[in-house]
Amino acid sequence: MPARTAPEGKKERTVPCRQEAIDALAPGEYAVEGVPGLLVRIGKRGATYRLQRRIEGRLVRRNLGMLTAAQAKRMALKVWAQLKPPAPDGKITLGEAWQRYLEEKPLAPGTRRLYEYTRGKYLEEWQGRSLEQIGQDRAGVRGLYLTLVRKHGKALASLVLRQFRAVYNYHRRVNPELPECPTIAVDIAPVKPRDWALSDEELRAWWAGVQRLRPLKQVLWQVMLLTGARRGSVEALRWRDVDLDRGLLHFSTAKAGRTYSVPACARLIGLLRWWRDQCPPDAEWVFESPQKPGRHVVAARDDRRGVVSAHHLRHTYRTTLAQLGCPPDSARLLLGHSLSGDVSRGYITPGLVVESLRPWAEAVAAKYAEVLGWSE
């Protein structure tokens, strides 16, 4: 079995609170994202968890033992709830309000993880304060924003304040006696759209990097290139989601639970037919993890080999559709974007128009073939 590797691309030794991500770690100790104070040590016997928090100036440690990621998260939150000091006057604290927001709002898994990470990483010292206290502390909230800007930049500082505002205003609808949201005192910087589409030269450099990867990764990245799908959607593809005879792919894992189907271009169908022959006959996943048989690959990244992130490919796919003159509604359907926001657009039944999208999928593939020098 190949050696396990530590997460790439992180400045700190952190890991998402997902079992498959923790199973892939190299030996050592890591902070678990989104769960304040939770640490996991990877040893010969497996993963051992412990909780380490500073409460009222005193460092408190608790050994949680060998657990699954889900069990460790539940136990850590339970222990922390027992240890943390009560809010003044019994009022709801930011930490409690944040947890209720996550429990009550129908958030996508990725959004939920981002909220959990923000709470543990950037608002840990604020969690024990009541919403009433924070609502009256506009200067403190402005100071928090400016500190985050200085340490991490405007984009991250704005993200943290927007999430805080969402949580605060959610609870203010229930308790109108709360002060106005204190972010009113902050000029939150607008987040500029990412200009991530690859130029022809950058796309050729990307392709050169992909060709240096092992076959599984080569096929994985080509699926992302030729569909514009999100990385998580492609990683979670099952063979039952792939209809090679009809030339269709169904992404059952997608943002906000919006599953969708797209036509696969002829090149992609040929590639997947070849890949199917390389996989075990009873394989469930199109991209099974080499480290964990029976599970799909997770968080595939190859930036150290010159392969940019999957979202660059998604931007490139959308930009190429625009260059080719693809109608906006067709582009939305190909990318699995929401059709809400317009009454007429909301009347479209995606499953009935999939075949009408095939010429655009083929046109994008032809454009890539021209840029990358693919032969027929």
| Residue range 299-333, pLDDT digits in tens | 777 777 778 788 899 999 999 999 999 999 999 99
Residues with Cβ within 8 Å of 50's Cβ and at least 6 positions away in sequence, in order, are: 38, 39, 41, 61, 62, 63, 64
Residues with Cβ within 8 Å of 300's Cβ and at least 6 positions away in sequence, in order, are: 217, 220, 231, 235, 287, 310
Per-residue tokens: 21:
């991500």
| Structural domain for 36, as ranges | 1-85
- Residue at which a domain ends, from 30, 56, 85: 85
116-130, 137-151, 261-275: lowest mean pLDDT where? 116-130
DSSP assignment of 41-52 equals EEETTEEEEEEE
- Residue at which a domain ends, from 166, 192, 218: 192
Is the same domain home to 285 and 321?
yes
- Residue at which a domain ends, from 192, 225, 248: 192
pLDDT at 191 over 80: no
pLDDT of amino acid 84: 61
Q: What is the pLDDT of residues 32-89, one digit of tens each?
A: 887 878 899 999 888 999 988 776 667 788 899 999 988 888 888 777 766 665 555 5
Is the same domain home to 228 and 349?
yes
Is the same domain home to 313 and 257?
yes
| CA separation, residue 197 to residues 13, 28, 224, 235, 365 (Å) | 30, 37, 14, 21, 16
Residues with Cβ within 8 Å of 266's Cβ and at least 6 positions away in sequence, in order, are: 247, 362, 365
Is the same domain home to 167 and 316?
no
- Pick from 152, 204, 233, 154: which is nearest to 308 by CA? 204
pLDDT of amino acid 154: 87
Residues with Cβ within 8 Å of 190's Cβ and at least 6 positions away in sequence, in order, are: 158
Is the same domain home to 223 and 300?
yes
Is the same domain home to 125 and 152?
yes
Stretch 131-143: mean pLDDT = 94
Stretch 266-281: mean pLDDT = 96
Is the same domain home to 207 and 330?
yes
Q: What is the pLDDT of residues 336-349, one digit of tens each?
A: 987 776 778 778 88
Stretch 171-192: mean pLDDT = 88
